[in-house]
Amino acid sequence: MRRLHALRRNWQPNATIMALRLLAIAATHSRLGYAFFIGERLVDWRISDRAAKSAAKAAAWARSVIADLRPDVVVTETPAETKRKGEKTKAMIDAVAAVAADAPILDVSVPRAQGYENKYQEADAIANVYPELRPWVPKPRQFFENEPRSIVIFEAMTLAFSILRIRPKVSRRRWDKQSPSVPCRSV
């Protein structure tokens, strides 16, 4: 009996059996992107410009990605709660969510929570957790520049984090020009 109790105490679930296959899909005005996780391990991420031409192309792209990756869960943004997305982007999100709802998988729509001052700080914090994404962290843009292409990957990561319960911490050194002991002005 003692041996059985010791085995129970040291027992750990097999990670390959218990790992959740999660696909998070995000949309911006001119591109779609996804982040694919097995458990908490980031396995794949992609961006598509062609899929963002229309809602029909977004749906076809989502169908293809779901068929290739075979996720257990697909996470999309709740279109009704998006504040700064246009009608075209909301239509793409709806099309992707409809494809996920028709597939034999769990479809989850979550509001995109932004816990940082801007998307660039958020991307930097995510790259601290997943260093393989560091080359894709965009530099902050000027007001006259287009949004960086890679930002959609970090939006997808944020959607995945709402399910995986990962909370990245921002590295203040990169963003603050003053020393950490001096409070920064908000602009």
Using pLDDT thresholds of 50, 70 and 90, give the confidence band for residue 183: very low
| 66 occurs within a structural domain | yes
**Range in 51-55, 148-152, 164-168 with the lowest mean pLDDT:** 164-168
| 56 occurs within a structural domain | yes
| 13 occurs within a structural domain | no
CA distance 24 to 36: 6
> How many domains is the chain built from?
1
| 12 occurs within a structural domain | no
CA distance 74 to 96: 9
The tokens for 186 are 């908000």
Q: What is the pLDDT of residues 160-171, one digit of tens each?
A: 998 887 777 655
CA distance 95 to 131: 31
Cβ atoms of 103 and 97 closer than 8 Å: no
Most confident of 59-63, 79-83, 181-185: 59-63
| 29 occurs within a structural domain | yes
| 91 occurs within a structural domain | yes
The DSSP symbol for 143 reads T
Domain that holds residue 105: 20-170
| 116 occurs within a structural domain | yes
| 182 occurs within a structural domain | no
pLDDT at residue number 37? 96
pLDDT at residue number 147? 80
Which CATH number is 114's domain given? 3.30.420.10
CA distance 22 to 70: 9
